[in-house]
Structure 1
């Protein structure tokens, strides 16, 4: 199969699948392990994180994902999946894959898409959390602070920044919108301080939901180099 879904795409689609979480937890109880961990799992995303922490699920072993869904389209892609080192002669951009996962999830809600119809991700440079250097962070923040403009509150809401906190930012920087936006970004970043990749994904998704795909594209382009 020439078209494929990467590991992150498959995880995202499985995590958003509506297959009963309690049933799935019982299926995977041996892999989950301790009862304390079992009781802390409330969503598919929790379960996936637990299995990855236990090294029961990773790019080399996606078998547990097969027991987490009954969606035939997703199952067929899990069966066809090959690890990144095998299927990607040129690695892919993880932030582009995140957007592709969102598009595919929407397609699966609307129609029964055949495996042949699933679009292939664009080949890009591989981006890892370590690649979020101080220079790239500064470049990303600079682009957003210079181009976001009046959309700053829309982005703040998507990043779960409270209206009160944004009011304080406006009081702090009444005539300096760029500094206000930089402060907003730093506050949002603090929530994901131990996972730079997760912060970037959240930021890119927030830009899209705030209606600023133009800036999201520039952020993804910066992280691709």
Structure 2
């Protein structure tokens, strides 16, 4: 979870893409995927190597040591990517646990001098939250995810057939998001659901919404 570990992951991505026979195709696909984030026709044309793209994504704050979602996206498009994807997932999971738990513990510690609070480390920090807080988290995702709900579903590892069913059975974005969250809650590990959700939001380029959920998690409600 250190800067050197992050830099090492980036270097492995650069080497892996550079060695791929489909380097040009992969780079073009990724440039199109991140075109809105690049947000400059001149910069877009100047990107001729995967390293250039990573640098631009860092400048745009889309990629960082705290958000390696783009590295996952790139690795996913590489052939024989199991080992690289495993390393990225392990890094991301370790970082998610550290960041989300530390934020929650810090807030709980500040509040403890004013009121009695349940220890966030009682068995697991996200396994025993109030129904009110969980509803607030779910409602926030439903209200704010918008057209990103499909990206979120994929990063939550919802099957494509299920995603198609959500699409066809609901006539508004809010209802689709609500259906998605119901399906996710049914399948999620109750001890890991929160940071997996935040991780998926960041991978879906909704880091803002992930931070909103972290703030809700820190509330004493």
TM-score, normalized by length of structure 1?
Answer: 0.44
TM-score, normalized by length of structure 2?
Answer: 0.45
Query: Which structure's residues are more often helix, by fraction?
Result: 2
